[in-house]
Amino acid sequence: MSFDVNAFMRQIPPMSELLSLPWVPSMEASLGRRAVKAVFSEVIGEFRTLFREGRISQISAEEIVREALARLTARSVPSVRRVVNGTGVVVHTNLGRSPLPREVMESVVDVSVGYSNLEFSLDEGVRGHRNDHVEWLICQLTGADGAVVVNNNAAAVLLSLAALASHGEVIVSRGELVEIGGSFRIPDILSFAGARLVEVGTTNRTHLSDYERALGEDTAMLLKVHPSNFRIEGFHCSVSRQELASLAASRGLIFLEDLGSGLLEAFDGDALSEEPTVRECLQQGVDLVTFSGDKLLGGPQIGVVAGRSQLTERLKKHPLMRAFRVDKMTLTAFEGILRMMLRGEDRMIPTREMISLSPDVMKRRASSLARRVRRVIREASVPGNASVLEVEDAVGGGAFPAVGLVGYGVALDLPSLGGASRVQGLFRRSDPPVVLGVDRGLPCIHVRTLLDGDDERFLRSLKRVLGVR
Ligand SMILES: *Cc1c(COP(=O)(O)O)cnc(C)c1O
């Protein structure tokens, strides 16, 4: 049968008819007429292709309308939404990493809806620098004498390499040539910055003599990368910071460490005690440390380079600085977080608080949530149960790779809804969306990562999933 365009076109309602459907005005109100038309055209185009390929022999106007309505409905609600993190992974990159304290966000709103002194010195009435709002605070918290902030830690590493090592050689241990996820790979970043990578040692063992042998005329820098998201166990060794620092100093080289997680103050207890603080790294002789603002620091997405001011001043003058500069909302939020750290209010920063929650507190919260879940299940008159489970949580964000945190969760046993992955899907698509973990085969909500009000959000979502009014 040949492709009969005319016969096909006759089955498609004209655009004017589609645009006079009763629900169109409300879609136009939220998306505009042009976008509504574009979606109709897109759907018609797709049906035309299916017809041309012989995969359908006819179409109904009804199908076109139904499909367009579904797409427009999905497009007319905000895309970035608040979700409940029930995974127990505190710094969850896919879920926006660190939730910010409300008091910090109030100053962000205030600064953003009005003008600000972002790059203006109120004392002198002349141009100022946005970096100046946070540099002193970072120095107080880390012992650095200079600091610059950029968009994220990836930018911090790239800027440091481009400004201080382009055209030169950078020596890195083979055990630290890592990929951090989302395509941040140390060798790629180095070559993009115009530096030549010199690999030393082996995956599991690198000695000081390996670094010494690799030194040459063109060596510009020693780079240490925190193996944030994995850990080598067994027969392995690496060179200490102090040894690398004295090697770098004796040859006039720069010693840069990509620390990733950005711990400013150690946590209580020994479980997390292996993670070095930024201050310790600098004390052990690292010239510059780079780290993220939204991992262990619990702030907004930002990258920091902290260390010797002689070097940070060179970073400030590099052209990439302009491309990587931090926006006013981020900078304001970051200043707020740094001030909380200075005041010793780190337990009021949600990320830090969630990491240090005690098992007792979580167990009590899980018990009370389980009771409320069982009540909803009874209300829905479906078979099922909810029980408290001891679970393994994680810091996430590439921090503390080997540390499983003991946590508690509420496992949902709802056989009428299907298997765990189906239940996870129902909760993701519910309102508000909830991201659940799976423990011992059951969908499970970990209480560690529940923020204020999240128990109620989860219960609302559960009611929708179970069809309770
Ligand atoms: C997380 C991480 C990065 C990337 O940091 P972003 O802030 O996400 O750009 C780079 N290096 C290490 C070691 C990390 O842990």
- Cα(155) to ligand 1 centroid in Å equals 9
Q: Which CATH class is domain 84-92+355-466?
A: alpha beta
Distance CA(457)–CA(107), nearest Å, equals: 26
From residue 98, give the alpha-carbon distance in Å to each of 30, 94, 194, 329, 459.
30, 11, 32, 15, 23
Work out which ligand 1 atom sits closest to the CA atom of 156: 9
Work out which ligand 1 atom sits closest to the CA atom of 258: 13
What mean pLDDT, rounded, does the chain reach? 93
Distance CA(381)–CA(459), nearest Å, equals: 16
- Note the pLDDT of residue 238: 86
pTM of the model: 0.93
pLDDT, average across residues 455-469: 96
- Note the pLDDT of residue 1: 47
- Note the pLDDT of residue 268: 80
Residue 287, pLDDT > 80, answer yes
Residue 248, pLDDT > 90, answer yes
Confidence of residue 54 (pLDDT cuts 50, 70, 90): confident
pLDDT, average across residues 235-252: 93
- Cα(158) to ligand 1 centroid in Å equals 11
Strands 169-173 vs 126-127: parallel, antiparallel or unpaired:
unpaired
Interaxial angle between packed helices 33-52 and 61-75, expressed in degrees from 0 to 180 and rounded to the nearest 10: 130
Residue 3, pLDDT > 60, answer no
Residue 430, pLDDT > 70, answer yes
- Cα(96) to ligand 1 centroid in Å equals 14
Residue 272, pLDDT > 90, answer no
Least confident of 230-239, 298-307, 342-351, 451-460: 230-239
pLDDT, average across residues 168-187: 86
- Cα(302) to ligand 1 centroid in Å equals 10
- Note the pLDDT of residue 156: 97
- Note the pLDDT of residue 52: 86
The pocket around ligand 1, CB under 6 angstroms, is made up of 152-154, 180, 184, 225-226, 228, 258, 260-261, 292, 303, 398
Residue 217, pLDDT > 90, answer yes
Same fold for the pair 84-92+355-466 and 100-346:
no
Ligand 1, pocket-test mutation among 172, 178, 180, 259, most atoms within 8 A of CB: 180
Residue 231, pLDDT > 70, answer no
- Cα(97) to ligand 1 centroid in Å equals 12
**Domain boundary assignment for the chain:** 5-75, 84-92+355-466, 100-346
Least confident of 2-6, 30-34, 337-341, 395-399: 2-6
pLDDT, average across residues 357-366: 97
Q: Which string of b and e fits 231-240 if b means at least 16 CB within 10 Å? A: eeeeeeebbe
% of the chain exceeding 70 in pLDDT: 95
% of the chain exceeding 90 in pLDDT: 83
- Cα(257) to ligand 1 centroid in Å equals 12
Residue 355, pLDDT > 80, answer yes
pLDDT, average across residues 70-91: 96
Work out which ligand 1 atom sits closest to the CA atom of 154: 9
Residue 126, pLDDT > 90, answer yes
Work out which ligand 1 atom sits closest to the CA atom of 292: 7
- Note the pLDDT of residue 11: 79
Query: Nearest residue CA, atom 6 of ligand 1?
Result: 153
pLDDT, average across residues 153-174: 96
Work out which ligand 1 atom sits closest to the CA atom of 178: 13
- Note the pLDDT of residue 184: 80
- Cα(398) to ligand 1 centroid in Å equals 8
pLDDT, average across residues 263-290: 89
Q: Provide the 10 A C-beta neighbour count for residue 10.
A: 9
- Note the pLDDT of residue 60: 83
pLDDT digits (tens, 9 = 90+) for 362-409: 999 999 999 999 999 999 999 999 999 999 999 987 655 556 899 999
pLDDT, average across residues 170-195: 87
**CATH for 100-346 (3.30.360.10, 2.40.160.40, 3.40.640.10, 1.20.1250.20):** 3.40.640.10
Query: Nearest residue CA, atom 13 of ligand 1?
Result: 260
pLDDT, average across residues 203-226: 94
